[in-house]
Amino acid sequence: MSQLETLAEHACFGGIQGYYRHVSRECATPMRLAVYRPPQAARGSVPVLYYLAGLTCNEETFAIKAGAQRVAAELGLMLVGPDTSPREARFAGDDACWDFGLGAGFYVDATEQPWSSHYRMYSYVTKELPALVQANFPARADAQGIFGHSMGGHGALVCGLRNPEFFRSVSAFAPIAAPTRCAWGHKAFAGYLGEDRSTWGAYDASRLVARRAHPNPILIDQGADDRFLAGQQLLPEQFAAACEVSGQALELRVQPGYDHGYFFIQSFVDDHLRHHARLLGS
């Protein structure tokens, strides 16, 4: 287990908002993460909720913009947010596009060069990061959930559906719900996974949920005025239809007047935290 370096810690609603760095085994490069420890963590282990951020974001985005710490402190939830891609492993052209490369790891294990040497975000999120958190913070191993936004909503759905015994609760804000059917997904999957589309389904939440339901209900919030919804990048209706195939319990809420940004997330993050707290026994 790699050593965790403390970059900064701040008192926040009786708990601690911290930022940390470690050398990742999966990504073969240093990675950063944010961890909010609620006040209850000073007295014992607490449920932990992983948040996966979206395109161009990093480990600080949710902690700074979402305003989630107040209710997390009330509920006794630890919040963990990793970065969205490796940062110190650089490749030619990795910052040429905002939707591929730096800040856009799509939570897959890349199989194409040069990305495969470092862009292993799926294994990082589902294996290495939880082990790191368990080793360094008072997090309950039996009470872990996952949620995210946009690209991170895609990641949360995929990680939760593929690992239901590990992530007991799942939710998402405006997720890229059917990436094999949208331009963002085509670009990312072709670049990271190659042109053989038969491999892409392992990272498509709509395909996954059609085959096997998660044992607990999934909550999704989607802004009705989201320009990416209108642009056919998110496709929540595809996920809803797939849930009907497998019998997955889904609450899909389309919120009038809301767009894709963090004012939308701020408005409904309390509901998501309470959704997870109910399922995790917080």
Active site residues: 150, 226, 260
How many Å apart are CA 47 and CA 282, to the nearest integer? Answer: 6
Cis peptide before 114 (omega within 30 of 0): yes
Neighbours of 51 (CB within 10 A): 28
Vertex 169: Cα angle to 50 and 123 (nearest 5)? 50
Q: How far apart are CA 130 and CA 21, in angstroms?
A: 14
What residue type is 213 in one-letter code? A
Cβ contacts of 6 within 8 Å, gap of 6 or more: 18, 19, 20
